[in-house]
Structure 1
Amino acid sequence: MSVDKDERQRHLPAGRKAQLAAYVADTGQVTVSELAERFGVSIDTVRRDLDQLSADGVLVRTYGGAVSLSTVFRTDRAVDQRLTLQEQEKEKIAVLAAALVQDSSTIMINGGTTTLAVARNLGQHRDLTVATNNLLVPGALPPTAIRDIYLFGGAVRTLTLATIGPVSFRASGGAELDISCDLALIGVGAVAADAGYTTSNLAEAAMMQEMIARAGRVAILADSSKFGRRLFAQVSELGSADYLITDTAPPADLRDALAANDVKVITPAASPRQRGTRSAV
């Protein structure tokens, strides 16, 4: 009985990698275990194939798998689409981020659906001052929690419903006022050991940088699907944050890089008493 050509190729390294690349391109996002089962090879073999394909620029390696280039280029989705993605993970992150907020403090919140979830989880807080470029945040904040809300001006990105402009306010005479906050809650599009925190839009990256610079403490919010990826514009290096709040522990290389930069990782499994101060992972 003859063996199907595709079946023979599957067990040849070059043929397997070509089929693997095609499968990722068609599927969009895959896991290592899914690929190992589909192609009948070990997980280590799949990891080596993915690493090589990533180095060749064929796909983007992620924590536990890979995504196609077309999926990466579609990361800047409309806010109504992003509201339905990773909902459970975002909610877990939001609860942890809200626990960092202290009553009577001033916080800055950037655009994004994860930070929007944080705003909805501030109902137990009181006397907060919130400054944001996220047009959805003012309506999501529990009225009992808020003393003042400020919205940064500038152009509006209808795709994300966030403003783009300077992180500043001016007095009636035109002079720029010096502002700062106790805590900046910054949602990012990707986190990687070598690239730091990145996002897809240059102007939004500039706003995030300025929020970070004006904050006494900084918490980066990113679910685990964003690990090991790099987007167009760097927000900052890893060490600019005090905390990375996520839904699961990062892979070893990212975990080690965060520890080296004194960034505390907060996940749902972390003990509450570990969340109060900055420390290594």
Structure 2
Amino acid sequence: MGRSVAVDNEDRQRRLPAGRKAKLAAYVAETGEVTVTDLAERFGVSIDTIRRDLDQLSADGVLVRTYGGAVSQSSISRVDRTVDVRLTLEKHEKEQIAKLAAALVKDGSVIMMNGGTTTLAVARNLRDHRDLTVATNSLLVPPALPESTIREVYVFGGAVRTLSLTTTGPISLPSAGGADLDVSCDLALIGVGAVSVEGGYTTSNLADAAMMREMISRAARVAILADSSKFGRRLFAQVADLAAADYFVTDTAPPPDLVRALRENEVELITPDATT
């Protein structure tokens, strides 16, 4: 009898909004990644109700909403994140960076862009540009480019990383005869995973680092893009030293030691508030 009452009480609590949300949050934290369908079945409510609960928990900072579900805050601390998760993070900061980076692009120029949600935001901010040639290893950048902007678009070949929807391989394009053509660009826009005085520009994947490094080597000018959450960190693979960039584009002023190091390496710092 006592057990039945306890189960009934638990069931009633689960169906109350506050009780359900608390249990939902605990379940997501324990599981790491969930779908709306699974949660609706588990908690015995409609998909629309679960979506509203997840939206509220996301607004409260308890979890991160993704397409079709959610992930826990602890799980997104991993270095590699799926694209749909990364699209939800630092959205305002990335948009600020994208607008500043787009201003560096000149009409009629050739640009290279690596894969990433920051460079994807840049692609969407090129709508006022014309006659651009864009080469990228991102599968998401080409459809994001406004048609009125583009003269030619190229995607570098290689193995596809489904986690990031990018290719990894050499920076080369084959000719009609099969031989690789030598390519170069006016500006490389490179989003990195971390930046520090000691480590320079770094990322978590070795193959990505090699591709980004090669883009930099083929560019007349280089703009490194990173939001403020990347300051003072160092990841597994170095992309380049600080001096490899002409511009460092970010959403707010970096710590003084990084500002000083950028200045010493003749890198122009570009933020929404000031250019130094």
Q: Residues of 2 paired with 1:130 and 1:157: CA distance? A: 20
Q: 1:240 maps to which residue?
A: 244
2:142 alignment partner in structure 1: 138
Question: Aligned letter for 2:252?
Answer: T
Q: How many angstroms apart in 2 are the aligned matches of 1:243 and 1:79? A: 26
Q: Structure 1 pair 72/227, CA: closer, same or farther in 2 (3 Å)?
A: farther
| Aligned twin of 1:99 | 103
Compute the displacement of 1:72 (Å): 8.9
Which stretches of structure 1, 4 residues or more, deviate above 2 A after TM superposition?
Answer: 70-73
Structure 1 residues 172-181 or 253-262, which shifts more?
A: 172-181
**Equivalent residue in structure 1 for 2:220, among 216, 219, 222:** 216
Q: Distance in 1 between matches of 2:182 and 2:248?
A: 27
Aligned pair in 2 of structure 1 residues 204, 227: CA closer, same or farther (>3 Å)? same
Please give the secondary structure, in 2, of the residue aligned with 1:163: strand
Letter in 2 for 1:98: A
> Does 2:235 correspond to 1:231?
yes
Q: CA deviation at 1:191?
A: 0.3
- TM-score normalized by structure 2? 0.72
Tell me the SS of whatever aligns to 2:208: helix
Q: Distance in 2 between matches of 1:234 and 1:96?
A: 24
**Structure 1 residue runs without a partner (length 5+):** 1-25, 27-69, 275-280
Question: Alpha-carbon deviation of 1:73?
Answer: 6.5
Distance in 2 (alpha carbons) for counterparts of 1:249 and 1:118 = 20
Query: 1:117, 1:219 → 2: CA distance?
Result: 15
Task: Tell me what 1:168 maps to.
Answer: 172
Deviation, 1:241, is: 0.2
1:199 has 2:216 as partner? no
CA distance in 2, matches of 1:222, 1:229: 11
- CA displacement at 1:183 relative to structure 2: 0.3
2:128 to 112, 124, 127: 124
Distance 1:258 1:222 in 2: 14
C-alpha separation in 2, matches of 1:122 and 1:132: 15
Structure 1 residue 245 displacement after superposition: 0.2
How far apart in 1 are the matches of 2:76 and 2:248? 22
Return the alpha-carbon distance in structure 1 between the equivalents of residues 77 and 98 of structure 2. 26
**Which amino acid is 2:265 matched to?**
N
State yes or no: 1:150 paired with 2:154.
yes
1:60-99 Cα offsets, whole Å, 9 max, x none, are xxxxxxxxxx879712100110000000000000000000
Secondary structure of the residue aligned to 1:100 is: coil
Closer/same/farther in 2, CA of residues 80 and 200 from structure 1, 3 Å limit: same
* Structure 2 Cα separation of the partners of residues 133 and 167 of structure 1: 9
Q: Which one of 254, 257, 268 corresponds to residue 253 of structure 1?
A: 257
Partner of 1:18: none
The Cα of 1:178 is off from its aligned counterpart by 1.1
Please name the residue that 1:186 is paired with.
190
Q: C-alpha distance in 1, partners of 2:177/2:209?
A: 29
Larger radius of gyration: 2
Q: 1-side partners of 2:177 and 2:185: how far apart?
A: 23
Q: Counterpart of 1:226 in structure 2: which amino acid?
A: K
Look up the equivalent residue of 1:198 and give its one-letter code: T
Equivalent position SS for 2:103 = helix
SS at match of 2:174: coil
- % identical equivalent positions: 70
Q: Give 1:171 deviation, angstroms.
A: 1.2
Deviation at 1:170, TM superposition (A): 1.6
